[in-house]
Chains A and B, each alone.
Chain A
Amino acid sequence: MVQDRDLRARFRQGDPDAVRSVYRSYGRLVYAVAHKVLGDRGLAEEATQQTFLKAWRAAQTFDEERELGPWLAAIARRVAIDLYRREAVRATDPLESAPPGDQALISSPRSADAIYDVWEVRDAMAQLPQEEQEIVRLQHLEGFTHAQIAERLGMPVGTVKSRSFRAHKRLAAMLGHLRE
């Protein structure tokens, strides 16, 4: 995460290189929050862009002593909810409506806690080694069994189990506060 005070100061000044560095540190997290609210890739990207624009516009008021992450997360949530409301209004009078079967919108915005939780989970996942991230992804997102993961990744089932255990142990430690 971005801890460098100089970088935060340059972001306040609107330095493009600082903007790029901040995006590389927080862009995926902002996107995850937006996607959590909007459930749509295109809208989540639009919300991410608006978040960074708003953050840059407000950068002069940003306290350098604060962490950028929580500040950006709060902006992302507000932007995503505003976009959600805009799309909800549009859905009642479509000009370029998606076909009826398309699921472009979720039924209701998520609670604040649920929105920020995804930030925490993404942050924790990013700290896992890549191979452990892949095992967790295949297990939880794709619904693979350990045997299927072993076949997909070309490794023994025992190795998958031990790496899965290690990955979840780290996640449980990093995300324990979400259960409190």
Chain B
Amino acid sequence: MSADDVTGTFVAEGLTKTYGDLVALAPLDLTIGVGERVMLMGHNGSGKTTLLRMASGLLDPSEGSVTISGAPAGSLDARAAMSFIADAPVFYDDLSVLEHLEYVARMHDNTDWQDGAEWLLDRLGLGHRADDPPTRFSRGLKQKAAIAIALIRPFEILLVDEPFVGLDVAGRTALLELLDDVSEGGATIVVATHQAEFAERAGRCLALRDGELVYDGPADSTEAESLMRQ
């Protein structure tokens, strides 16, 4: 498929991941359009993280392909277009939160990062810890720092893996508001979560079970709600 044929921001074609005999993700065909808010559900080991990590370029597909904004996942253009908040955030040992933000912003050619950083840190309640290394933070604070780092840079699609884990109520609310803001800005959002609050905001729900896509439809349908409860 050429870039011209792409109609969605996120296009997977026969995307498969296997580890020996274990099928982590069965062949998946999926198109996510520009500006969609997608909720990705599934029990542990269903393939949610595998899908997101392949889209981000952190995992190599065993078969098939995935494109981000028309570019193969992991390519330079795809990396520029995609921002990923992983379930396990990682940081440099010797950089503060603010230094992380500056570095990542500049790697993505965002030079007017200071005001954005200050605003993000305030929204996430991290303003007073801006000069501390995030490696020393608690799980929740690390998650907040990872969110700030993912949002400080420009992107077209935001991939988020279990972002609410470890966040307090204020953090969850702030994140939901930030996701609203991002969506209003026109970006595509794919969030792997079971959080009912996000389901209310999501327009589309995808459910995976044992590596296979078992539901693709509205997030507010009875079937989606039933899957969410499982």
A and B: partners? no
Which A residues are closer than 8 A to B by beta carbons?
A: none
Which B residues are closer than 8 A to A by beta carbons?
A: none
